Amino acid sequence: MLLAIDTSAGTSVAVVDLARGVLAERGVADTMRHAEVVGRLIQECLTEAQVPVAALSGVVGGMGPGPFTGLRVGIAAARVFALGIDRPLVPVVSHDAIAYGHYRTGHTGPLLVVTDARRREVYWSAYSGADAQHLPARIGPPALAKPAELLEADFVHAALPRLDAATISAGDLGMVAELTFAAGLPFASDEALYLRSPDVTVSTTGPKRVS
């Protein structure tokens, strides 16, 4: 049984089990309040699922891609919660959860998942298909691009069916983790997929003078 947390878009939290599926899920679409709501959503999901913390076997963290400020909140929450209950952190690429949900509801064949990266850019991941359990097969790592670049004829995945997603389901994120473990496949790298530098940088001229 796993607790799953993702803040690469809004904030989503879920409790999942391989045999029973998604036991509880909560989400807030607001992309500015991750730190304010994630703790409450965790408590609500554990309460609804009637799962004691000791019953969890791990904590799933959505690794993005996602904007720096929001994404790091969920990853930090997952790491701290895992550390606090002495369970492993299970990293999963957030786009894999989007693809899994789409395959689970009937899509077959290749797929291009696209999410908003802000600054007039998008994140994208390409998939060749999914297995019998709807676990998606990603083609390479997620990438960053201008929206127009995905429409150009020389974009290698231009012909793939495209799915633009505004939210990520922590329930689907958790099920990807459960199915990946059950299939004996490796998990994602335990590194946040920011794909670009944060908006806020350290000044190269030193601190501002206060008068």
Residue 23 lies in a domain: yes
Cβ(179)–Cβ(60) below 8 Å: no
Calculate what percentage of the chain has a pLDDT beyond 70. Answer: 93
Cβ(66)–Cβ(10) below 8 Å: no
**Which CATH number do you get for residue 169?**
3.30.420.40
pLDDT bin (cut points 50, 70, 90) of residue 30 is: confident
Residue 139 lies in a domain: yes
Residues 1-28: tens digit of each pLDDT: 999 999 999 999 999 999 999 999 999 9
- Gap between the Cα atoms of 22 and 25, Å rounded: 7
Residue 33 pLDDT = 87
- How many Cβ atoms from other residues are within 10 Å of residue 153's Cβ? 6
Residue 209 pLDDT = 60
Q: In this structure, what token pair is assigned to residue 153? A: 């004829």
Cβ(4)–Cβ(16) below 8 Å: yes
Cβ(113)–Cβ(140) below 8 Å: no
Residues 174-200: tens digit of each pLDDT: 999 999 999 999 999 999 999 987 654
Tell me the pTM. Answer: 0.92
- Our count of domains for the chain comes to 1
Q: Are strands 121-130 and 89-92 parallel, antiparallel or unpaired?
A: unpaired
Q: Select the more confidently predicted residue: 7 or 201.
A: 7
Residue 188 lies in a domain: no
Residue 204 pLDDT = 58
Residue 31 pLDDT = 83
- Gap between the Cα atoms of 120 and 87, Å rounded: 38
Q: In the predicted model, is pLDDT for residue 77 greater than 80? A: yes
93 in helix, strand or coil?
coil
pLDDT bin (cut points 50, 70, 90) of residue 39 is: very high
Domain carrying residue 17: 2-182
Residue 142's nearest CA partner among 84, 192, 211 is 192
Residue 187 lies in a domain: no
